[in-house]
Amino acid sequence: MTSLHTTRVRRRRLGVAAAAAAGLFATLLAAGPAVATPDPGDKPAKEETSKSQQAEARKAIENNDIPGVDEIIHSDNMSHVANVPKEHLKGTNSDIAFQGKYAFSGNYDGFRIFDISKPSKPKTVAQVLCPGGQNDISVSGDLLFLSTDASRSDNSCSSVSQPATEKSSWEGMKIFDISDKRNPEYVAAIETACGSHTHTLVPERKNIYVYVSSYSPNTAFPDCQPPHDGISIIKVPRKAPEQSKIVDFPILFPDGGNPGAPTNPGVSATTGCHDITVLPSKDVAAGACMGDGILFDIKDPEKPRVIDRVQDNVNFAFWHSATFNQRANKIVFTDELGGGGAATCNEEIGPKRGADGIYDILGKGDKRTLEFKSYFKIDRPQADAEVCVAHNGSLIPVKGKDIMVQAWYQGGISVWDFTDSSKPKEIGYFERGPVTLDQVTTAGPWSAYYYNGYIYSNDIAKGLDVIKLDDRRTDEAKKVKMDELNVQTQPDYFEDF
């Protein structure tokens, strides 16, 4: 375990504007879709910072405007109770899933299973080496699902990188049997067009449907041909996962979606979806699809139907993920400006880019529409060496309130309230200072999720963090006990709600 400590830091709100920030802003605007390659790859961002940027950051640390290198700070209502560093899997940490007393941590090199029966002392149960970024992870019953969105020589866990231009290359979904948590067994693989960047489970009694999100087709890729305007749907029999197969590839964007640049400069062209969140109890899903945000009906999980679609060609560069509120009358969409490889939490970028967009859902049935209400972005300044942008989060189950916890890479973890869609506000935070001042480095929390009374964060560089939130506004959530949680498959926390 690493040492845990707290330092109170006097913070100016969005007050650290580094010398090169204006130049970065211009680059992000002009570069268009190319700059919005989402999520760090096998080689995360490590661009050297200038001497003036380093001097600016050191001055900000001296003035207590930002925490020092690796220094931990947090609001009074949050406390750091545990950290488990990386061990055998040294790649980028990615998503997290939960089941009973276990947490399942994705990593570009495979996945790790923790026993979290004592949140203050997580214990490693198993580490599975199975390279193939980004290893987005979910669990349902005895099955674990792992996304491979990196071109590999074959579907085995001993595969090596191989160009996507070769027909024999493989990308897609892997399925493991986790009935024995100490010895997961690899049981099935399904190749999908353009791989599987992320996936979302729609569980039923006998079957599990998997919505596979992937994008960026290329005429040079035999298994990833344009156009690629939909998602792969896999049907997985619970008792015979080896019989899993693709049952459909519904087209979500018959018109091709957002064209991106030059029509919409600085916006990613839509060539598929990045992430989908489903709320099965309400038969709805929300898709964050590069240049578009969509709301669709999943009453028939094999035949999803788009109900409404929105774009933000002024402030959103890459629609990355989505979260419903419990009533399913709001969606929070995130914009991954800079593709998870740029420092965007500063004064020059401002509060509306690399942020969350809050949308109300109006109307009923097929007449439902999305109406933009406001943006939310952390207003705690970050150094220009810190990759920072809106990323993965989850609801905190408080009846009658809309509160969520969210990861912001090196911006840390934010707990914020969007009960009033037009006036979101942060109510708690936890963060570390820069991992270095010499390079723009991808680090910090990839995912931050609330599960059975604690916040669990998969830090890209530092490992698993466990955070305790003590606040009268969220104390009610401690009464909600979950048996399983895949955040992109949102549960109905209150059945009578």
pLDDT (tens digit, 9 = 90+) per residue, 445-493?
A: 999 999 999 999 999 999 999 999 999 999 999 999 999 999 999 999 9
User: How much is the average pLDDT of 151-164?
Assistant: 97
Q: What is the pLDDT of residue 44?
A: 58
Q: What is the pLDDT of residue 16?
A: 34
Residue 492 lies in a domain: no
Q: Please enumerate in sequence order all residues whose Cβ is within 8 A of that of 181, keeping only pairs 6 or more positions apart, or say none.
A: 102, 113, 125, 126
Q: What is the pLDDT of residue 157?
A: 98
Question: Is residue 365 packed enough to be buried (19+ CB in 10 Å), middle (13-18) or exposed (0-12)?
Answer: exposed
- Whether 138 and 198 have beta carbons less than 8 Å apart is answered as no
Closest CA to 427 of 383, 396, 459: 396
Residue 450 lies in a domain: yes
Q: What is the pLDDT of residue 181?
A: 98
Q: What is the pLDDT of residues 338-363, one digit of tens each?
A: 998 999 999 889 999 999 999 999 99
Q: Is the per-residue pLDDT at 12 higher than 90?
A: no
Residue keyed to tokens 């209400």: 373
Q: What is the pLDDT of residues 170-217, one digit of tens each?
A: 999 999 999 999 999 999 999 999 999 999 999 999 999 999 999 999
CA 48 to chain centre: 26
Q: What is the pLDDT of residue 45?
A: 63
| For residue 227, cis peptide bond before it (omega within 30 degrees of 0) | yes
Closest CA to 224 of 272, 156, 288, 259: 272
Q: What are the tokens at 78? A: 């949050």
Q: Mean pLDDT across the chain, nearest whole number?
A: 91
Q: What is the pLDDT of residue 50?
A: 78
Q: What is the pLDDT of residue 53?
A: 81
Q: What is the CATH number of the domain that holds 425?
A: 2.130.10.10
Residue 266 lies in a domain: yes
Q: What is the pLDDT of residue 42?
A: 43
Q: What is the pLDDT of residue 352?
A: 97
Residue 11 lies in a domain: no
The 10 Å Cβ neighbour count of residue 86 is: 20
Residue 67 lies in a domain: yes
Q: With bands split at pLDDT 50, 70 and 90, how would you rate the model's confidence at 26?
A: very low
Residue 107 lies in a domain: yes
User: How much is the average pLDDT of 30-57?
Assistant: 57
- Whether 162 and 180 have beta carbons less than 8 Å apart is answered as no
Number of domains in the chain: 1
Q: What is the pLDDT of residues 310-333, one digit of tens each?
A: 999 999 999 999 999 999 999 999
Q: With bands split at pLDDT 50, 70 and 90, how would you rate the model's confidence at 28?
A: very low
Distance between CA 369 and CA 365 in Å, rounded? Answer: 10
- Whether 485 and 395 have beta carbons less than 8 Å apart is answered as no
Distance between CA 3 and CA 171 in Å, rounded? Answer: 39
Q: Which residues pair with 409 in a beta bridge?
A: none
Q: What is the pLDDT of residues 77-121, one digit of tens each?
A: 999 999 999 999 999 999 999 999 999 999 999 999 999 999 999
Q: Is the per-residue pLDDT at 29 higher than 50?
A: no
Q: What are the tokens at 11? A: 């913070």
Residue keyed to tokens 């200038």: 50
How many DSSP H helices and E strands does the chain contain?
Answer: 2, 32
DSSP 8-state class, residue 458? E
Residue 2 lies in a domain: no
Residue 317 lies in a domain: yes
Percent of the chain with pLDDT over 90: 84
Closest CA to 136 of 276, 326, 28: 276
Q: Is the per-residue pLDDT at 444 higher than 60?
A: yes
DSSP 8-state class, residue 364? S
The helix (run of H) or strand (run of E) holding residue 82 is: strand 78-84
Highest mean pLDDT among 25-39, 57-71, 452-466: 452-466
User: How much is the average pLDDT of 249-276?
Assistant: 97
User: How much is the average pLDDT of 146-152?
Assistant: 97
Least confident of 367-376, 386-395, 397-406, 486-495: 486-495
The string over 156-194, giving b where at least 16 C-beta atoms fall within 10 Å of a residue's C-beta and e elsewhere, is: ebebeeeebeeeebbbbbbbbbbeebeebebbbbbbbbb
pTM confidence score: 0.92
- Whether 155 and 171 have beta carbons less than 8 Å apart is answered as no
Q: Which residue has the higher pLDDT, 236 or 21?
A: 236
Q: State the residue range of the domain holding 61.
A: 21-485
- Whether 335 and 317 have beta carbons less than 8 Å apart is answered as yes
Least confident of 21-25, 184-188, 244-248: 21-25
Rounded to whole angstroms, what are the CA distances from 410 to 170, 370, 380, 400? 32, 31, 11, 31
